Amino acid sequence: MKRPLTISFLIALLAASFAAAGSFEDLYRNAAGAEGVAAPVAIPEAGAVAAVPAEEPAAAEEREWLVLVFISGVNDLGILNFANDDVNEMEQVGSTDKVAVVVEYNILSTDGSAANTLQFQRGAKTLHVQRDADPAITSPVIHESNDLDMGSWRHLVKFARRNILRFPAKKVLLVVWNHGSGTLGIASDDVSGNKISVRDLGRALGQIKSAKGGKIDVLATDACLMQMAGVAYELKDHADVVVGSEEIIAGPGYPYHTMLAAINADPGMDAAGMGRALVSRYDAAYANSRATLSALRTDRLGGFVQRLDAWTAAVMADPAAMSAAAS
């Protein structure tokens, strides 16, 4: 999981909301219509988005990179404004003629009142990120849906496939943004109660791969604890490079402004170069902490598994080694 910076605030907020509504499920029903579609709610000023224009036509010219960011902020990370802050970081650079940046965005927020009543965004919005200097989110909304569940791997597939077709690019970076729990999954949605299991993440990437016509170039997880051998092995057939942290990622997450600046400075970089760029910018942003981020080439995982199997067999065949390992 990402580590929020303020826990006591969240606990007090949820306790007050539960007391008023009875349960998280009741909160959801109160914000939804009879068919479970959330009623319109105001997003806090810091997270306001531009009015919805007519959908943009598909880009005719192929870019070097398409950066897709799936922001599941229907949890404490949305309430604490980390989702909005990261979109604003992206808007410091925005999309260019070489790099398109597209965000799937849904958050849990508060209404800004003294009671801090929980608010639900009405479905997901897709933003085509544009450069600005405004503290509000001003990038145009190019797609809206009533798909409320950000813990659904099918939602991830629809977002990625739709925009791979809309924004042709030679290479694709897909970022999944949320809490992470290693082999237990990612992208928890505190309203639906769902999250994307590692197996379903692999299933999603397989379907996205078919739309792209080949492997995703880079999958990055802006979430804690996701850079595990078991996770990477599940994804090896669907992404060339996997970027993630073996440890905790702080609430602010990736430094999107410096990462996007690095991509635009060298848009011709390949998947391995993208992995190095993401790790380098993350390292610079958290230089005074014990933060970790790494990039794995998935074509090396076959050899890793063979060596791991050989080591395991050798240990199991040696009673003394087994005893030492168990102690």
- For 265-307, give the DSSP string: HSTT--HHHHHHHHHHHHHHHTTTS----EEEEGGGHHHHHHH
Residue 118: predicted pLDDT: 78
φ/ψ (deg, to 5) at 304 = -60, -45
Range of the domain at 42: 2-326
Q: Return d(Cα 225, Cα 279) in angstroms, integer.
A: 15
The separation between CA 52 and the C-alpha centre of its own chain, rounded to angstroms, equals 23
What does the pLDDT look like over 281-297, one tens digit per residue? 999 999 988 899 999 99
Q: Are 217 and 268 in contact (CB under 8 A)?
A: no
Q: What is the pTM of this model?
A: 0.82
CA 191 to chain centre: 17
Question: Hey, is 254 helix, strand or coil?
Answer: coil
By DSSP bridging, strand 294-297 and strand 99-110 are unpaired
CA distance 57 to 142: 9
Nearest to 105 by CA among 51, 159, 152: 159
pLDDT at 146: 82
SS3 40: coil
CB 144 within 8 A of CB 37: no
- The low-confidence residues of the chain, meaning pLDDT below 70, are 1-60, 122
Q: How far is CA 80 from CA 102, 116, 252, 261, 286, in A?
A: 22, 12, 10, 26, 20
- Could you say which DSSP state residue 10 is in? H
pLDDT (0 to 100) of residue 114 = 76
User: Considering only CA atoms, which of 128, 140, 125, 82 is closest in space to residue 102?
Assistant: 128
Q: What is the DSSP letter of 47?
A: G
| Domain count across the chain | 1
CA distance 101 to 42: 25
240: left (phi over 0), alpha (psi -120 to 50) or beta: alpha
Which amino acid, 191?
A: V
